[in-house]
Amino acid sequence: MAHPLGNTPSKVIAVHLNYPSRARERGRVPDRPSYFLKPPSSLSGAGDPIVRPRGCELLGFEGEIALVVGERARRVRPEDGWSHVRWVTAANDAGVYDLRRADRGSNLRSKGADGFTPVGPRLLDARALDPDALRVRTRVNGELVQDDTSDTLLFPFGELIADLSRLVTLEPGDVILTGTPAGASVVSPGDVVEVEVDGCGLTTGPLRNLVEEAGHDLEPWGAMPAADPAERAAAWGAARPPEPLLDARLAEGLRSVAVATLSAQLRRRGLHHMSVDGVRPTRPGDTMVGVAHTLRYLPLREDLFERYGNGTNAQKRAVEELRPGHVLVMDARRDTSAGTIGDILALRAARRGAAGVVTDGGLRDSAAVAALDLPVYHGGEHPSVLGRRHVPWDTGVPVACGGALVQPGDLLVGDADGVVVVPPHLAGELVADCREQELQERFITEQVLAGHGIDGLYPLGPRWRGPYEQWREQRTRHKQHTRHEQPTREGDPA
């Protein structure tokens, strides 16, 4: 992994707590600085991935100002410390909280993995900087999450140099990570972290790194990842993990019933226009359950496309706004003569944790999209870009998709038959009624297989109600008996 420092430094030293804002988050203010070492092999540069080991969930980022020693420092005074700094740059002190217990205090494995210390992309001449006038900012997926200045430090740069050099000789090229401000938290594969340091009219530029998942399992010899509530709280900091968009039990309930059954139950409640018509799946064997996040396209107007269609337009914003469990629902006015999403944005949606994509417009790069582990429902394949027919206009608004009104927060359920919109307040009772309907249909199917006619049987009429209830009771007793008869495993309580 390339970094802008040139020769590999003899050591990378990191400060535990140095910003008052971070100290308030942690609930303690140190009276003296404390440190830990990171291996020089953890260094990387802008554009290199930060790879989260498999089995870990708590990859933390920490935007920091990094000092690069230019002149050998041994027992220097605080007022002379800054003169030993040659370069200043941006750094990300990354680490996985899941492995902190493995080397409590030293942070070797939790913060020392290859690529866990990106620095750069540019080195700023320390002689042209005021050490009390530097600013560090961190963005995650374009959103500003950390912003602080060096004049607030608990332990100024010169004091850090002096303190360390009392016992440790600082050699030219050594790197000192000077602490992170409030806002450090957790990132996931697919997220992009950017750290930038500026001051006195100079800037490092954004140190941009994509978070990726390791392509292999962590070998089983040695400590394995583990996270408890305390580690999760420490990792997330003030941000706290977002609440799930959809209750897991409700999601599983919706996934367990057929879209056709849901559609029938919605019609019984007077909701006759809840299906997204004219769309088909790229992966017919998949099911989809998620919460609607909406994007609206309007008809192309060439004089407005430059303003609304270029740059970080509504289409790209909609993808970057996705949270795990969202279904991106696109209103393209059922015009399939231009693409509304292609392989790159679909991949980004998958990396953002999307539960699926639904568009009543065209799909580009259909083979590549079908290869993704992402349910996508579309109106038809088309090779052209959206600028042929559509202007991406806005997100997070009610839309019409395939003739159905979809509001942000509605539930979308899809299978091989298509997609239906489920009002959230009806979801629980719909699952219960769908399961009852499907149970009745199973009984009816058995009777038809046995040779009975469908008159009075389908739908279930009064004559068959008694036999059905008896069949249902026998089925319940059999399941309970089977459950009680399951042998206990060795070591399980009898």
CATH of the domain at 144: 3.90.850.10
Token pair of 188 as six digits:
């996931």
Residue 363 backbone dihedrals phi, psi, to 5 degrees: -120, 125
pTM: 0.59
Bridge pairing between strands 411-415 and 192-199: unpaired
Q: Tell me which of 207, 236, 265 is where a domain ends.
A: 236
Q: Report the percentage of the chain scoring pLDDT > 70.
A: 96
Dist CA 239 CA 186 (whole Å)? 8
Residues whose CB falls within 8 Å of the CB of residue 302, separated by 6 or more in sequence, listed in order: none
321, 360: one domain: yes
73, 208: one domain: yes
**pLDDT tens for each residue of the chain, 494 residues long:** 678 888 899 999 999 999 999 998 888 899 999 999 999 999 999 999 999 999 899 999 999 999 999 999 999 999 999 999 999 999 999 999 999 888 877 889 999 999 999 999 999 999 999 999 999 999 999 999 999 999 999 999 999 999 999 999 999 999 999 999 999 999 999 899 999 999 999 999 999 999 999 988 899 889 899 888 888 888 888 777 667 889 999 999 999 999 999 999 999 999 999 999 999 999 999 999 999 999 999 999 999 988 888 887 999 989 988 889 999 999 999 999 999 999 999 999 998 889 999 999 999 999 999 999 999 999 999 999 888 999 999 998 999 999 999 999 999 999 999 999 999 999 999 999 999 999 999 999 999 999 999 999 998 899 999 999 999 898 888 777 666 565 544 444 33
32, 85: one domain: yes
> In this predicted structure, what is the pLDDT of residue 492?
40
Decide if 321 is inside a domain: yes
258, 222: one domain: no
Decide if 111 is inside a domain: yes
Q: Tell me which of 368, 402, 428 is where a domain ends.
A: 428
> In this predicted structure, what is the pLDDT of residue 493?
36
343, 213: one domain: no
> In this predicted structure, what is the pLDDT of residue 5?
85
Burial category of 86 from C-beta neighbours within 10 Å (exposed 0-12, middle 13-18, buried 19 and up) = middle
Q: Tell me which of 367, 396, 428 is where a domain ends.
A: 428
252, 172: one domain: no
176, 147: one domain: yes
Whether 82 and 157 have beta carbons less than 8 Å apart is answered as yes
Look over the chain and give the mean of its residue pLDDT values, rounded to a whole number.
92
Decide if 82 is inside a domain: yes
Place of tokens 């016992």: 167
How many structural domains are present in the chain?
2
Whether 445 and 452 have beta carbons less than 8 Å apart is answered as no
> In this predicted structure, what is the pLDDT of residue 434?
95
> In this predicted structure, what is the pLDDT of residue 1?
64
Decide if 199 is inside a domain: yes
Decide if 322 is inside a domain: yes
287, 336: one domain: yes
CATH of the domain at 360: 3.50.30.40
229, 293: one domain: no
Q: What is the pLDDT of residues 324-349, one digit of tens each?
A: 999 999 999 999 999 999 999 999 99
187, 325: one domain: no
181, 268: one domain: no
Decide if 243 is inside a domain: no
Decide if 465 is inside a domain: no
Decide if 446 is inside a domain: no
Strand partners, 377: 281, 358
224, 262: one domain: no
The residue segments making up the domain with residue 157 are 12-236
